[in-house]
Amino acid sequence: MTFPNIDPVIFSIGPLQVRWYGLMYVLGFGASLLLVKHQIKKTGFKELDLHFENLNLVLIISLVLGGRLGYVLFYNLPYYLGHPAEILATWQGGMSFHGGMLGLILGAVIFCRKKGLDFWRVADFYTVTIPIGLGLGRIGNFINGELYGRVTTVPWGMIFPGGGPQPRHPSQLYESFLEGLVLFLLLWFLKEKQRPPSSWPSGSMVALFLILYGGFRVAVELFREPDAHLGFIAAGMTMGQLLSGLMIVAGIALFLVRKKQTS
């Protein structure tokens, strides 16, 4: 198949450029906020409604900082140690999902403790909406022609501009489907399991997200080209698989701990 070669820049006004990748972030944030607001109205979580706007600002900042610092630490630390002025240069590319997730958790924990909110209940409300942004973000990666897959002979293989002459898996689209659409539908359906008289504790959606996302990411990494400067870390595993494997373990542990704490 032919790579569509969509211009990553939607339009420019002087030095200002509006890119598809940035638009995907905006759409993901917007969809998440609308769905969280919907859940607040449906469940009557007035405490969250009171702090909704301020929490959203904290989460957006935490996500961007965590995603960037995670990329620096997990994927290219030697380079940035030699070029510290570029650490915050997000416009040059380089964001880590795992770093963004840690940033979100830290920002939310600090805010909820300060405002007296139930962190696990708040986290569940937001977690079930996260896959929308993930799916859109992967479409942005596809438009940019980055994070493409490994060389393949499947009929839908594509020749990416920066990927050499051989066709490759459009792994960004695999991730958009699994980590975006499928994960969202699963979590949105399973969140109803927490309603009384269910024995599922708050924090269950966070745990399920960690387990399901981790499993999907480990699977898709089998088709995704490893980062050129990292390659395979150990036993044929990529950095993405290693971090996602830890997510699965953390998700299982979290579910068991929360179950025990609320039983």
DSSP 33-45: HHHHHHHHHHHT-
What would the two tokens of residue 136 be?
Answer: 């859109």
Q: Cis (ω within 30 of 0) for the bond into 226?
A: no
Residue 36: CB atoms within 10 A of its CB come to 22
Name residues of the chain where pLDDT drops below 50: none
**Six-digit token pair at 222?**
């089998």
Burial class (CB in 10 A: 0-12, 13-18, 19+), 58: middle
Model's pTM, two decimal places? 0.87
pLDDT of residue 93: 63
Distance of alpha carbon 162 from alpha carbon 14, whole angstroms = 27
Cβ contacts of 245 within 8 Å, gap of 6 or more: 214, 218, 237
pLDDT digits (tens, 9 = 90+) for 167-222: 999 999 999 999 999 999 999 999 987 776 667 889 999 999 999 999 999 999 99
Quote the pLDDT of residue 92: 61
Q: Residue 19 gets which letter from DSSP?
A: E
pLDDT for 198 equals 67
